[in-house]
Amino acid sequence: MKRTALTTLLMATSILGSAGFAAAQDAALTVESWRNDDLAIWQEKLIPAFEKANPGVKVTFAPSAPTEYNAALNAKLDAGSAGDLITCRPFDASLELYNKGQLADLASLPGMENFSDVAKSAWTTDDGKATFCVPMASVIHGFIYNQEAFDKLGIKPPATEEEFFAALEKIKADGTYVPMAMGTKDLWEAATMGYQNIGPTYWKGEEGRLALIKGDQKLTDPDWVEPYATLAKWKPYLGDGFEAQSYPDSQNLFTLGRAAIYPAGSWEISVFNTQAQFKMGAFPPPVRKAGDTCYISDHNDIGIGMNAKSKNPEAAKKFLSWVASPEFATIYANALPGFFSLSSTPVKMEDPLAQEFVSWREKCKPTIRSTYQILSRGTPNLENETWVESANVINGTDTPDVAAKKLQDGLDSWYKPAK
Residue 285 to residues 68, 95, 199, 278, 339, Cα–Cα distance (Å) = 35, 31, 9, 22, 18
Q: Which residues contact 107 (CB under 8 A, 6 or more apart)?
A: 129, 130, 131
- What is the pTM (predicted TM-score) of this model? 0.86
User: Do 28-138+299-358 and 140-298+366-413 share a fold?
Assistant: yes
Under a CB-based contact definition with an 8 Å cutoff, are residues 70 and 88 in contact? no
pLDDT tens readout for residues 347-395? 889 999 999 999 999 999 999 999 999 999 999 999 999 999 999 999 9
Q: How far apart are CA 157 and CA 160, in angstroms?
A: 9
Q: What is the pLDDT of residue 78?
A: 96
Q: How confident is the model at residue 419 (pLDDT cuts 50, 70, 90)?
A: low
Q: Which CATH architecture has domain 140-298+366-413?
A: 3-Layer(aba) Sandwich (3.40)
pLDDT tens readout for residues 14-31? 444 444 444 445 799 999
Of 56, 58, 60, the closest CA to residue 31 belongs to: 60
Cα atoms in the 13 Å half-sphere on the side-chain side of 358: 28
Mean pLDDT estimate for the chain: 93
- Among 36-40, 137-141, 203-207, whose mean pLDDT is lowest? 36-40
Q: What is the pLDDT of residue 67?
A: 84
Domain locations along the chain: 28-138+299-358, 140-298+366-413
Domain 28-138+299-358 listed as CATH 3.40.50.300: no
Q: What is the pLDDT of residue 25?
A: 56
- Among 13-22, 161-170, 299-308, 324-333, whose mean pLDDT is lowest? 13-22
Mean pLDDT of 229-233: 98
pLDDT tens readout for residues 125-182? 999 999 999 999 999 999 999 999 999 999 999 999 999 999 999 999 999 999 999 9
Give the percent of the chain with pLDDT over 70: 94
